[in-house]
Amino acid sequence: MDSRVRIFQIGFNKCATSSLHNFFQRNGLASVHWEEGRLAARVATRLKKGEDPFLDYPDTIAFTDMIMLSATLVLEPYKAFAEIYRWYPQSYFVLNTRHCRDWIESRVKHGFVPRYQVLYKLPDEAAVRRLWMQDWYTHHAKVLKFFADKPQRLLVYDIDRDAPQQLARFLEAHWQVDPALLGRDNQTPAVGRPGTVG
């Protein structure tokens, strides 16, 4: 196994990041998830220094939920996917996604609004929702543009619509994973639809 081949989840939180992390672990792949923001902080620090962003995780294969949100700052190093790719060009990148409206409602339900109001000096919840929507579409567009000429490195995975078999096929060149082991953890009800992964 090439030590430079990893799996990077580069979609937003509240899009099945816990489910993906648990899926990798159930399939015997060393995975790290969030670490209460420490994962994002370490990766962001390495990126700022121009170093291998995952130098602190030599034995880890999969990385999920790379975000740190505190009272004073937000770190989202997964958005530096282009730089991560330069360090790990043979790796696998998963853009986990869902309907934007459901994602926003999940973030609201989980109490993210007040922190974003303070961090971005926004007047109300409506302004936070507008910020998130713009961020959502901008990030997706950037990911799709960057990987347009290297589609074998990217899987766009809709957590509500796509079958786990797609994830298994995407990874099969390096890992044989059982799609039946993808659970539905931390579910948040979708707007007007049955419960979906949060």
Q: Which domain holds residue 54?
A: 7-178
> Could you give the CA distance from residue 152 to residue 171 in angstroms, rounded to a whole number?
10
Contacts of 103 (CB under 8 A, 6+ apart): 12, 14, 15, 132, 136
| pLDDT values of the chain reduced to their tens digit, one per residue, 198 residues | 467 899 999 999 999 999 999 999 999 999 999 999 999 999 999 999 999 999 999 999 999 999 999 989 999 999 999 999 999 999 999 999 999 999 999 999 999 999 999 999 999 999 999 999 999 999 999 999 999 999 999 999 999 999 999 999 999 999 999 999 999 876 655 544 333 333
Name the β-bridge partners of 33: 64
Give the integer Cα–Cα distance in Å for 12 and 4: 24
30 domain-assigned: yes
In a domain, 149, yes or no: yes
| C-alpha distances in Å from residue 171, one per residue of 9, 27, 126, 141, 156 | 13, 12, 39, 23, 13
Tokens of 124: 């109300």
Number of domains the chain contains: 1
Tell me how far apart the terminal alpha carbons of the chain are, to the nearest angstrom.
32
Domain assignment present for residue 187? The answer is no
User: Would 101 be classed as within a structural domain?
Assistant: yes
pTM of the prediction? Answer: 0.93
Assign residue 133 the CATH number of its domain.
3.40.50.300
Q: Tell me the residue ranges of DSSP E strands in 27-67.
A: 31-33, 62-64
Residue 148: inside a domain: yes
Alpha-helix residue ranges (DSSP H) falling in the chain: 17-26, 38-49, 81-87, 100-109, 113-120, 125-146, 164-171
